[in-house]
Structures are given as C-alpha cells and as structure tokens.
Amino acid sequence: MDIGIGLPGHARWTDGTVLVEWARRAEARGFATLSVSDRLAWWTPEPLITLAAAAGATSRIRLMTSVLLAPLRANHALFAKTVATLDQLAGPGRLRLGLAPGLRQDDFELSEVDYGTRGAQFDRLLDRLATATTDDDPVGPRPATPGGPALLFGGTSKATLRRIAARGTGWIAGDATVEGVQDFTPHLRQAWADAGRPGSPRVVASVMYALGPDAEPAISDAIGSYYAFAGNEYAHYGISIAYTRSEQITAAIAAFDQAGCDELIFMGNDPDPAQVDLLAKAIDLNR
C-alpha cells in the first residue's frame, strides 16, 4: 500500500511558501503522493494553483486533488485547459484528479453556481475534460499524460459508482474509516465488474493527522473550526478519528492495508513543515 501526505490547507496557514516546503520535504522523505483539499468558503488554497507550485518544486512525487469540488469550475473549457496545463507542468503520469460534487451550499452560493444541478454540471464538466484529450479540441494544450490525468471520484452515492465505472480509475474516501472502506468497496467492485472494466478500481483513503507535543491542540483547532458548520457533534467526531500518535498511525496503515486500500493519505492539520518529518519517522519511510 502506498503512503501519501496531504497539505495542511484547511488549517490556519498564513504563508504559502510553507506549503511549497511541505511539497519539497514530502518528496525528499519518499511519500508516494502529495494531495491538496478544496473549499471556497474557507482559507483552503486553490488546489490546482497549489499543485502547480508543488510541481515546480518537485520532480517525482505524484500530485492529487483530494478532492476538487468539480461543479464550482463552471467554465468547463477553461477548467480543461487548466488541468492540461498542470499536467504538462508536472509531467506524464504525476497528476491525478480526485473529484466530487461538493456538499456545502455556501461554496456554491459564493460561486453563483446552482447547488441543485451540481450533479448534471459535474457530468458535463467530465464530458468536456474528455474532449480536451483529443486532437479535434480547439482549446490547448493537450495533457502530457496520454488520455489525460487519472480520475478518482469521492462519495458513496449511486452517481459516484456510475462515474467511477464509466470514467474513473477508482474511489477516494475522505475522513475515511476502515469500516467505511469495507462497507463501500464491495459495491465499488461490483459496479466495476458490471461495466466490464478490466482489473480492479484503485481505492484511496485519506485520514487526518498531526504529531508532536502540540498535536491535539492543532487537531482541535483545525478540524473543530473546519467542521463547525455541521455542529459540535460532527466536529467532535472528526477530531476523535484523527491520528495524533505514532502507534495510531502504524496501526492505521496495517488496518487500511488489510481492508484492501491501495493508498492511504495522511492529511496535515499543523502547517509546520516539521510535520512531514514526524510522519515519515513514524512510518519509517526511509528505512
């Protein structure tokens, strides 16, 4: 199972160069993937711009949105151009797009994008993204990756299964639990088989972490405020399932591996780049 690391974009970062330093350290420490999350009504950095900076600061580590709120990108041709440009900057095979329709209505209100039709808009965007890989598309450039970057879809709905089976390479689960992965993957593999897809879908799970003496306050501050919109009960749940000790992290790796995950991504909650080194040490990446 691959191990990735997620930028602390939803935490209280104040200096964008810190996120670039996370990218450099993540590659130097041997993580398989660097991911970035997405929100509009928050201080989360714009994901594709952030990954462009990470692409320029690194050369090998894979880059992923985890997840991009796709329907907010209402100009589908411009989105396709942006993705193709980022794929060119990163180089073939490095970029993967984790995509989801989004849940927060305030993100859509601020974008002046209709929340109720976001699923249909999502599908139209995917159609346009596919067109961007063909020689007939007047919008350029073409992606560096043949066929365009790999697509993974978030969520557990029937529409998610449909999009994965028709267009995707797999599923990405945010704030994942082992039980949640075990519950959904049989439906995922069945949908994949029913569509006649060869092989098996990739399963990626992401979880929250912070390490060191200030881990628990960092988790409480970052996750508590991020999920406050859903009420105290949900915010406390998010805090409770985050990982703050090395032994929890090693146990999570074993459990998600046993559950059939292909990759586990630890999303940062403390902007200090030393968090990259602490995580690498906890899982002994450089052994």
Q: What are phi and psi of 27, to 5 degrees?
A: -70, -45
Encoded amino acid at 112, one letter:
E
Provide mean pLDDT across the span 81-87: 98
pTM: 0.96
Output the average pLDDT for the chain: 95
Structure-token pair, residue 285: 């990446």
Amino acid, res. 109: E
287 band by pLDDT with thresholds 50, 70 and 90: very low
Q: How far apart are CA 99 and CA 93, in angstroms?
A: 17
Which CATH topology does 2-283 take?
A: TIM Barrel (3.20.20)
Phi, psi angle pair for 268, to nearest 5°? -70, 150
The CA distance from 224 to 226, in Å, is 6
pLDDT tens, residue by residue, 166-218 = 999 999 999 999 999 999 999 999 999 999 999 999 999 999 999 999 999 99
Residue 78 has pLDDT above 50, yes or no: yes
- Does 286 score more than 60 pLDDT? no
Domain map of the chain by residue range? Answer: 2-283
What's the maximum distance between 2 C-alpha atoms anywhere in the chain?
Answer: 56
How confident is the model over 239-281, as pLDDT tens digits?
999 999 999 999 999 999 999 999 999 999 999 999 999 999 9
Q: Are the C-beta atoms of residues 201 and 164 closer than 8 Å to each other?
A: yes
What gap in Å lies between CA 25 and CA 274, rounded to an integer? 9
Q: Which of 139, 26, 154, 156 is nearest to 97 (CA)?
A: 154
CA angle (152, 235, 262) in 5-degree steps:
25
Within 10 A of 12 (CB to CB), how many other CB atoms are there? 13
Per-residue pLDDT of 50-63, as tens digits, reads 999 999 999 999 99
